[in-house]
Structure 1
Amino acid sequence: MIRTRMEARKAARRGEQGFTLLELMVVIVIIGLLATVVMLNVLPSQDRAMQEKATADVRLLEQAVEMYRMDLMSYPSVEQGLEALVSAPAGLSRPERYRQDGYIRRLPEDPWGNSYQYAYPGERSAFDIYSLGADGRPGGEGLDADIGNWK
């Protein structure tokens, strides 16, 4: 009888040593469901944040272009582009009026990794600064819509 009890205890301990395949599958499914719920709630916020960052960058660049104009009495040409805000372009009529450290430290990229576009004269204002949106092409709707200083 003693041997039977000891064998029963050993058998019971062996059953407690790990998880069954069914238990592991249930845990994996639960983790998958939680990950899906989190992604559905986080991704729209990320898209909105990217659009807001692009809007803020366009405003910053717009202010820098206006400061450039006030100092040098003209907007940067299309050839000079937004690079004129970082370092003095060649051929300035009054280079001493250009700010020593430039008008911004570096040119930002839009949240989708593309360069901001500059047009002078602009189609919608004196000059246009804009991002082409998530698709990197003119026009579009939603995330793909252009974001510029005209909005």
Structure 2
Amino acid sequence: MDIAHIKSRSRIGAQQGFTLIEIMVVVVILGILAAIVVPKVLDRPDQARVTAARQDIGSLMQALKLYRLDHGTYPNQNQGLKVLAERPANAKDSNWRSYLERLPNDPWGRPYQYLNPGANGEVDVFSLGADGKPGGEGTDADIGSWQL
């Protein structure tokens, strides 16, 4: 065998591509990366909703504090949070003003809950979480003013 023949055989071998084992190793590595990354990416919208609920609750609590400064007390349970955005029909108090442009719903589309007296403070404002039921864990957990 001459040297030219050996060189041409080595070039042909180099151009044949990847072996099955090399391809399988790459597929396994991609699978491991996907198993790590995908759950984190899919969890982002839920985390964003929880953060938005906390921000809304903080804004509602600030509006409630302004209401209390003007009226000397928080809205009663019957008035609820609605009184922050709409003047009550029987309002005789000249101190009333709109404390919010509109009353937001929680990130899952349900109204925020209001308790006066509160179970965790003077008043409680909270969302029932993703499942809309009291209690729960993770994104189903209640998100309340007592957590701020």
- Aligned position for 2:59: 60
Aligned to 1:97: 95
Tell me the SS of whatever aligns to 1:150.
helix
The residue that corresponds to 1:45 in the other structure is: 44
Partner of 1:21: none
1:115 is matched with which residue? 111
Listed as ranges, the matches of 1:1-150 within 5 Å are 40-94=39-93, 96-99=94-97, 102-150=98-146
- Tell me the secondary structure at the aligned position of residue 71 of structure 1: helix
TM-score by length of 2: 0.71
Cα distance in 2 for partners of 1:69, 1:93 equals 16
SS class of match (2:125): strand
Partner SS for 2:86: coil
* AA matched with 1:137: K
Aligned letter for 1:127? V
CA distance in 1, matches of 2:42, 2:119: 33
Shift of 1:91: 3.2
- Structure 2 unpaired stretches of 5+: 1-30
Secondary structure, aligned partner of 2:51:
helix
| Secondary structure in structure 1 of the residue aligned to 2:135 | coil
Over 3 Å counting, the alpha-carbon distance change for 1:141 and 1:89 in structure 2 is same
User: Normalization by structure 1: what TM-score?
Assistant: 0.70
Equivalent position amino acid for 2:57 in 1: V
Distance of aligned partners of 1:48 and 1:92 in 2 relative to their CA distance in 1, 3 Å threshold: same
Question: Any idea what the Cα deviations from partners look like across 1:22-57, whole Å, max 9, x if unmatched?
Answer: xxxxxxxxxxx9xx7785442211111110000000
Structure 1: distance between partners of 2:78 and 2:88: 10
- Map Cα deviations across residues 73-101 of structure 1 (whole Å, 9 max, x no partner): 1111111111100011133352x1112xx
Q: CA deviation at 1:72?
A: 1.1
Q: Which residue of 2 aligns with 1:12?
A: none
Task: Report the number of matched residues.
Answer: 114
Structure 1 unaligned spans of 5+:
1-32
Distance 1:43 1:108 in 2: 25
